[in-house]
Amino acid sequence: MNLKRKRSNSCIPSLAPSGTLTPEEDQDVLIPAAKKLHTPSSTSTQASYILNNTANALLSLTSLYDTSTSAQGSLRRAVQLLAQTQLTGHKIITCGVGKSGFVAQKLSAMLKSLGIASSYMSAAEATHGDLGDVRGPHSPAFGRHVREPGWSLDGNVRRGADSIVFISYSGRTEELLRVRDRLPRGVGLVAISGVQSAAQCALLASPETSTKDEGDGHDCVPLGEGERVLLPAPIPESEEATYGVATPTTSALVAMAVSDMLALCIAEELFEGDRDRMKEVFKRNHPGGAIGEKSSKK
C-alpha cells in the first residue's frame, strides 16, 4: 500500500504548483517531529545552563548579604521584629500570591516546625474574612474579659501585635496591597522582594517619609506603631532574559532562600544559640516521615 496516496490533505503543509508534494515537503509530512527532537547532549547542556544560572543567583544573593550594610541591617531588624512578635505571645503570618504564595506557605510550615507560632494567610481569602486572624495591639477582647489592650487571659500583659511577612518579587502585587491597606494599625510588616530599597517597594509605602537609620544601616519604614522592613531578594537578570519566558524560577528560589535564612535566624535568636534545644523542639513537632523516623533513633 502506498501511504503517500492515503494521506489526508489536512496533513499537507503546501502543494507544489503541479499539485504534487515536493520531496522536502513529503519528508516533513512522513516524519513531522523528527527535526524537533532534542538530543541528549542538547538537553544536558540546557540543564547545566539552568543550574549554573541558579547557582549564580544564590552566589549573588550571598554576596549581597555578606557585603551590604543595608541588607545586613534589614536582616537584623527583621529578626528582632519577628522574634519580639513571638516573645509577646503573637504570631508571624505569611502571605503571598502565585509561586510566592507557595514560598510563603513553606516559610510558615518551617517556622511552626521550629516551635514558632505562625500561620499562612491566603491573599484571596484575607479580604473575605481571614483578616480576622491578624491581631493588632488594639484588637478587641470580648465579654467579661474586656481589658486594656495587651491584657491576656493568663494574667500576663502582652504588648505588641502580630507581624506579617509578604513575599512578592515585584513588591507591588495588587492582591497584597489590598491586604496591607486593611491591616490593623501597629502590625509589623516584612517584605521579601526583588527590589533593592524600601522606597521602591509599594508594599512598604506609607504616608510617612521613608527613613534610614544610619546607626545600623537597616532599610525600614515606620508606620504608626508598626515597623516595616525590606529583605531584598534580587536576581542578576530577569527570567525572561535568561530563559525566554517570565515564569518564576530563579526569583522563587531566591525568595525561598531568603525565607529559609530568615526562619533559621529567628530560631537562633529565640533559642539563644542553643541548637540542642532547637533540635528537641523540632523533633517533638516533626515526628512523621523519614525525618521523624531518623530523629527518633537519636
Strand 219-223 to 211-212 pairing: antiparallel
Q: Is the pLDDT of residue 187 over 60?
A: yes
- Cell for 166? 509578604
- 224-280 pLDDT, tens digit per residue, is 457 899 999 999 999 999 888 998 999 999 999 999 999 999 999 998 888 888 888
Instruction: Tell me the domains of the chain and their CATH numbers.
Output: 45-136+158-290 (3.40.50.10490)
Length of the chain: 298
Q: Is the pLDDT of residue 212 over 50?
A: no
Residue 19 per-residue DSSP state: S
263, 107 contact by CB (below 8 A): yes
Strand 163-167 to 92-96 pairing: parallel
In 3D, which of 211, 203, 164 has the Cα closest to residue 181?
203
Average pLDDT over residues 48-68: 95
Select the more confidently predicted residue: 215 or 123.
Answer: 123
Q: How many CB atoms lie within 10 A of CB 153?
A: 8
H-assigned helices in the chain: 3-6, 23-30, 40-67, 69-87, 99-113, 123-126, 174-180, 239-243, 250-270, 275-285, 289-296
Average pLDDT over residues 17-27: 47
Q: Quote the pLDDT of residue 80.
A: 95
d(C-alpha 294, C-alpha 284), whole Å: 13
Q: Which residues contact 165 (CB under 8 A, 6 or more apart)?
A: 82, 92, 93, 94, 95, 104, 107, 189, 190, 191, 192, 259, 262
**3-class secondary structure per residue, 243-269:** HCCCCCCHHHHHHHHHHHHHHHHHHHH
Q: How many CB atoms lie within 10 A of CB 96?
A: 29
- Cα end-to-end span (Å), the chain: 71
Q: Quote the pLDDT of residue 296.
A: 64
Average pLDDT over residues 147-167: 63
- Cell for 165? 511577612
Say what percent of the chain tops pLDDT 90: 55
Model-wide pTM > 0.85: no
Helix axes 40-67, 250-270, angle to 10 degrees: 40
Confidence of residue 283 (pLDDT cuts 50, 70, 90): confident
Written as one string, the DSSP assignment of 68-87 is -HHHHHHHHHHHHHHHHHHH
Average pLDDT over residues 183-188: 90
